[in-house]
């Protein structure tokens, strides 16, 4: 179980080449703690986020496991927070994580964005398998892996996290998500940026507050099949819109043999295909609404969308089974 988090201000400037920080109040911080340092970039005003470990101490001054590599100047109001992934690794390969339960103590911890942390957080790792792992109550993502290839997440339970159940992160290639339970997170499965040739199969994705599955920016050639996407707060399966580049949409993805039930509120949508998404296959799914039809839609296709192949889907219980805005 994660210890409660605490945030304090830094009391002295540290330059990018330094490896030490000074805290205004070091109570609750000790050698061995993982921390997140945040500051405003003095040049462009953006927020810098730095993860380090405290390795030595003299009073309120701590040495870090690595250089800061960013300017932590008092003008940027820098802070240190005792917040960290429960299990994390960088630049490692060929690892099995199995039969462990991780509890993030969400109510006593500040949020850590899933690009930097999670119950499990991997960065630049390859060939990991997570099996029969429970990641719960984290104030962020349950399981997140960034620029990691050939990651397998199977028979895991990620639930009641503030962020994403499973987050195949930017640039992840060939992730396999199989037979997991992803419940009561903000989003069940979030395909991040540039996730390609992935497989999500046999998962139960239930009661997530926004979306069951979300796929978007340059996520291509992924297959989602034999999943149960149930009771999603807004949309069952969302194909995101991203107009910032020439072709940032989730193209050439397949959604087949899934059950998608009870998506969204009164105007909810089971499958929502946005922007210029193209070459998507949606076949052999059972898409149903067991509540009142109201203004609910089974499949919505945006006006600018390209080719969408629909075949052999069972769609029932909606006010409108298919809303194809390309038809004018």
Structure tokens given for 159: 């639930």
Domain range for 18: 7-81
Q: Rounded CA gap, 290 and 123, in Å?
A: 41
With respect to residue 2, please indicate whether it lies within any of the assigned structural domains: no
Co-location of 77 and 97 in the same domain: no
Co-location of 77 and 135 in the same domain: no
Q: Rounded CA gap, 291 and 171, in Å?
A: 38
Co-location of 76 and 91 in the same domain: no
Among 206, 217, 268, 262, which residue's Cα sits nearest to residue 243?
217
pLDDT in the model for residue 4:
80
Co-location of 68 and 103 in the same domain: no
Kindly give, in sequence order, each residue whose CB lies less than 8 Å from that of residue 311, ignoring residues fewer than 6 positions away: 281, 282, 283, 284
Question: pTM for the complete prediction?
Answer: 0.94
Kindly give, in sequence order, each residue whose CB lies less than 8 Å from that of residue 312, ignoring residues fewer than 6 positions away: 283, 284
What is 161-188 written as a DSSP string? -SSEEEEE-TT-BS-EEES-EEESSSEE
Last residue of a domain, one of 81, 97, 114: 81
With respect to residue 237, please indicate whether it lies within any of the assigned structural domains: yes
Co-location of 152 and 48 in the same domain: no
pLDDT in the model for residue 328:
60
With respect to residue 280, please indicate whether it lies within any of the assigned structural domains: yes
The SS3 of residue 327 is helix
The helices-and-strands tally (H runs, E runs) of the chain is 0, 32
Co-location of 92 and 225 in the same domain: yes
Mean pLDDT by 10 residues, the chain (328 residues): 85 97 95 95 92 97 97 96 94 98 95 94 98 98 98 98 98 98 98 98 98 98 98 98 96 98 98 98 98 97 98 98 90
Kindly give, in sequence order, each residue whose CB lies less than 8 Å from that of residue 124, ignoring residues fewer than 6 positions away: 90, 91, 146, 147, 148
Output the furthest CA–CA distance in the chain (Å, rounded): 70
User: How many domains does the chain fold into?
Assistant: 2
Co-location of 217 and 276 in the same domain: yes
CATH code at position 64:
2.40.30
Co-location of 100 and 32 in the same domain: no
Kindly give, in sequence order, each residue whose CB lies less than 8 Å from that of residue 272, ignoring residues fewer than 6 positions away: 235, 237, 238, 239, 300
**With contact defined as beta carbons under 8 Å apart, do 247 and 241 qualify?**
no
pLDDT in the model for residue 1:
67
Co-location of 153 and 277 in the same domain: yes
Co-location of 271 and 191 in the same domain: yes
**With contact defined as beta carbons under 8 Å apart, do 121 and 2 qualify?**
no
Q: Rounded CA gap, 172 and 218, in Å?
A: 11
CATH code at position 158:
2.160.20.10
Co-location of 93 and 66 in the same domain: no
Sort strands 20-22 and 87-90 into parallel, antiparallel or unpaired.
unpaired
Co-location of 151 and 103 in the same domain: yes
Sort strands 47-58 and 34-40 into parallel, antiparallel or unpaired.
antiparallel
Last residue of a domain, one of 29, 61, 81: 81
């Amino acid at each position: 179980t994660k210890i409660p988090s605490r945030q304090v201000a830094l009391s002295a400037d540290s330059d990018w080449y330094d490896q030490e920080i000074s805290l205004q109040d070091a109570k609750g911080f000790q050698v061995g703690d993982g921390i997140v340092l945040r500051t405003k970039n003095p040049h462009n005003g953006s927020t810098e986020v730095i993860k380090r470990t405290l390795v030595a101490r003299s009073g309120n001054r701590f040495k870090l496991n690595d250089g800061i590599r960013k300017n932590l100047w008092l003008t940027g109001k820098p802070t240190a927070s005792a917040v960290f992934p429960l299990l994390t690794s960088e630049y490692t390969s060929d690892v099995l994580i199995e039969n462990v339960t991780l509890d993030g103590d969400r109510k006593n911890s500040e949020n850590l964005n899933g690009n930097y942390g999670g119950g499990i957080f991997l960065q630049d790792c390859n060939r990991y398998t997570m099996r029969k792992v429970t990641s719960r109550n984290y104030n962020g993502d349950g399981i997140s892996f960034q620029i990691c290839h050939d990651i397998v997440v199977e028979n895991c339970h990620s639930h009641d996290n503030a962020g994403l159940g499973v987050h195949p992160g930017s640039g992840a290639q060939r992730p396999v998500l199989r037979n997991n339970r992803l419940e009561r997170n903000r989003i069940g499965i979030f395909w991040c940026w540039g996730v390609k040739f992935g497989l999500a199969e046999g998962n139960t994705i239930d009661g997530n507050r926004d979306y069951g599955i979300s796929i978007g920016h340059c996520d291509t050639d992924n297959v989602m099949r034999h999943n149960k996407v149930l009771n999603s707060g807004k949309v069952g399966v969302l194909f995101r819109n991203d107009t910032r580049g020439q072709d940032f949409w989730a193209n050439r993805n397949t959604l087949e043999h899934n059950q998608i039930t009870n998506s969204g509120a009164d105007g909810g949508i089971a499958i929502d295909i946005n922007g210029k998404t193209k070459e998507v296959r949606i076949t052999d799914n059972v898409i149903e609404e067991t509540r009142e039809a109201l203004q609910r839609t089974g499949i919505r296709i945006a006006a600018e969308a390209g080719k969408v192949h629909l075949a052999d889907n069972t769609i029932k219980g909606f006010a409108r089974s298919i809303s194809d805005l390309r038809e004018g």
